[in-house]
Structure 1
Amino acid sequence: MSTVDLGTAPLSRLFLRYVTPTVAAMLVTGVYVTIDGIFVGHILGQDGLAGMMLAYPICAVLYAVGALIGMGSSSLASFYLGKGEQAKARHIVGNALVMVLIASAVLAFIGIRYGKEMLTWMGAEGVIFDAGFAYLQWYAWLGVFAVLSMAFTALLRNDGRPGLTTWILVGGGVLNVLLDYLLMAVIPWGLAGAAIATMLSQAVTGGLCLWHFFTPRSQLRIRLDTLVPDWRLMRETLRLGVSSFLMYLYLSVVLALHNKALLSVGSSLHVAAYGVISYSEAFFYLIFEGIAMGIQPIASFNAGAGNWQRVLRVRNLALGVTLAVALCGMIPLYLWPEGVVYLFAGDNAALLPVASLGIWLYFWGLPMEGLLLVGATYFQAINRARIASLLTGGKLVLIGGFLWGFSSLWGVAGVWLALPTCSTLLVLVMWRAMGKEAGQHAAAP
Structure 2
Amino acid sequence: MLSQNISRQFWRFSIPSVMAMIVSGIYLIVDGIFIGQVLGANGLAAINLAWPIMFLVTGMGLMIGVGGGALISIAQGQKRPEKAQNLFGHALLLIMLLAALISLSLHYLQAAPIRWQGASGHIQLLAEHYLSIMGYGSFLVMASCALPILVRNDNAPNYATGLMVVGALANIGLDYLFIVQWNWDLKGAAYATLAAQALVLLLALVYFGSASSQLKLFQPNFDFRPRYFYRIANLGLSSFFTTLYTAFITVIYNYLFLKYGSVTETGAYAIVLYISVVYYFIAEGFANGMQPLISYNYGAKRYDNVLKVLRLGFSIIIGSGIACVMLLNSFSELSVAVFNNNDPALLEATVLGIRLHLWAMPLDGLIFTAAVVFQSLNQASRANLISVSNMLIQLPFMLLLPVLFGISGIWLVMPLSTVLLSFVVGYWLIKLRQQLRQH
On whether the aligned pair clears a TM of 0.5, the verdict is: yes
- 1:227 Cα offset (Å): 5.3
Q: Which residue of 2 aligns with 1:133?
A: 128
Matched, 1:275 2:270: yes
Contact kept? 1:90, 1:226, Cα under 8 Å: no
Letter matched to residue 173 of structure 1: A
Counterparts of 1:104-115 in structure 2 under 5 Å? 104-115=99-110
Instruction: Give the aligned residue type for 1:21.
Output: P
Q: 1:102 aligns with which of 97, 103, 109?
A: 97
> Which shifted more, 324-333 or 92-101?
324-333
The correspondence for 1:426, drawn from 412, 421, 425, is 421
Give the distance between the partners of 1:8 and 1:308, measured in 2 at CA.
15
Aligned partner (choices 43, 46, 61) of residue 41 of structure 2: 46
> For residues 289-340 of structure 1, what are the alpha-carbon distances to aligned partners after superposition, in whole Å with 9 as ceiling and x for unaligned?
1011001000000111111121111011100000111111112210121111
> Per the alignment, do residues 226 and 215 of structure 1 end up closer, same or farther by CA in structure 2, a change over 3 Å counting?
farther
Report the counterpart of residue 263 of structure 1 in structure 2.
Answer: 258
Question: Unaligned stretches of 5+ in structure 2?
Answer: none
Q: Secondary structure at the match of 2:378?
A: coil
The 2-side partners of 1:258 and 1:226 are apart by: 49
411-420 or 206-215: bigger deviation: 206-215
Counterpart CA distance in 1 for 2:129 and 2:234 is 34
Task: Please report how far the alpha carbon of residue 228 of structure 1 lies from its aligned counterpart in structure 2 after TM superposition.
Answer: 5.1
Q: Which moved more, 1:104-113 or 1:16-25?
A: 104-113
Which among 164, 167, 179 is matched to residue 169 of structure 1?
Answer: 164
For each residue in 1:91-141, what CA deviation from the matched residue of structure 2 results, as whole angstroms up to 9, or x when unmatched? 111111111111011111111221311111111110000100000011101
Indicate conservation of the 8 Å contact 2:27/2:169, yes or no: yes
Q: 1:373-425 CA deviation, whole Å, 9 max, x = no partner? A: 11110110011111111111111222232222211221111111111111121
- Trace 1:151-166 onto structure 2 (pairs within 5 A): 151-166=146-161
Instruction: Determine which of 301, 310, 318 is the counterpart of 2:313.
Output: 318
Give the counterpart letter for 1:407 in structure 2: P
Deviation at 1:262, TM superposition (A): 1.2
Counterpart in the other structure of 1:200: 195
Tell me, which stretches of 5 or more residues in structure 1 are unaligned? Answer: none
> In the comparison of the two structures, how many residue pairs are matched?
439
Give yes or no for contact 1:95–1:227 (8 Å, CA) kept in 2. no
Could you tell me whether the CA contact under 8 Å between 1:97 and 1:227 is conserved in 2? no
- In the alignment, the residues of structure 2 paired with residue 207 and residue 398 of structure 1 have an alpha-carbon distance, to the nearest angstrom, of 40
Calculate the aligned-residue CA RMSD, in Å.
1.2
- 3-state SS of paired residue (2:139): helix
Paired position in structure 2 for 1:90:
85
**Identical positions, percent:** 32
Q: Distance in 2 between matches of 1:264 and 1:225?
A: 57
2:97 maps to 1:120: no
Question: Bigger shift: 219-228 or 46-55?
Answer: 219-228
Post-superposition CA distance 1:163-221 (Å, at most 9, x none): 11111211111100110011111111100100110111111112211332222221121
Counterparts in 2 of 1:399-410, with a 5 A limit? 399-410=394-405
Name the aligned partner's letter for residue 41 of structure 1. G
Q: 1:2-401 to 2 correspondence within 5 Å?
A: 5=1, 7-225=2-220, 229-401=224-396
Name the stretch that deviates more: 253-262 or 204-213.
Answer: 204-213
TM-score normalized by the length of structure 1: 0.96
Look up the equivalent residue of 2:281 and give its one-letter code: L
Give yes or no for contact 2:393–2:421 (8 Å, CA) kept in 1: no
